[in-house]
Amino acid sequence: MSQEASQDFSLGKVQVASSPQERFDEYLQSKGKRTTQQRRALVECVFEEHDHFDADELLEMISRHAEGAGVSRATVYRTLDELVEAGLLRKMDLGGRAVYEHDYGYPQHDHLYCQLCRKLIEFRSEELMAIRDAVAAKHSFRVTGHRLIVSGVCEECSHKRHRRHSPLDLI
């Protein structure tokens, strides 16, 4: 078996006790805040599928939802901050752009980031976790998590950059 075939970089599953909406409701209640229809619509939109997004992309997504018609830009930014604080989303700074991803219900994982097309590729590596834990143990360090973003150029963008020029390019 090849080394590539023996390595599985998939994320796997994490069991959670409550839905993201229930968890967010509990967070808001603990802060003395109300669960509004706009917040509910944003949580529903964010957790429909797992994807990375920025605030502008969320605004675009929510505008396509019937319940999201009245959600303002300020509400989106405020709710994103609350979702991060509640432990439901993770915020990453990629090239000066704030990008969000699901944190609740997803295992520890890392990313490859294409600097040209901005694609994020998620992966999980047991070898990387073992190195992290060994270094932490050597320094009597208690690990609570980590974040690794490897920057570079994805295969698709690399092919575009290195494509041979053809006489048809002059037309």
Residue with tokens 């974040």: 147
Residue 61 identity: M
Binding-site positions read 110, 114, 117, 146, 154, 157
CB 20 within 8 A of CB 104: yes
Name 116's Cβ contacts closer than 8 Å, sequence gap at least 6. 153, 154, 157, 161
In the sheet with 120-123, reading across from the earlier edge strand, the strands are 120-123, 110-114, 149-152
Binding-site positions for Fe cation read 110, 146
Residue 117 identity: C
SS3 92: strand
Spatial separation of the C-alpha atoms in residues 100 and 141, rounded to whole Å: 28
Cβ-based neighbour number of residue 43 at 10 Å: 24
Binding-site positions for Zn(2+) read 114, 117, 154, 157
Can you state the percent helix, strand and coil of the chain, rounding each to 5? 45, 15, 40
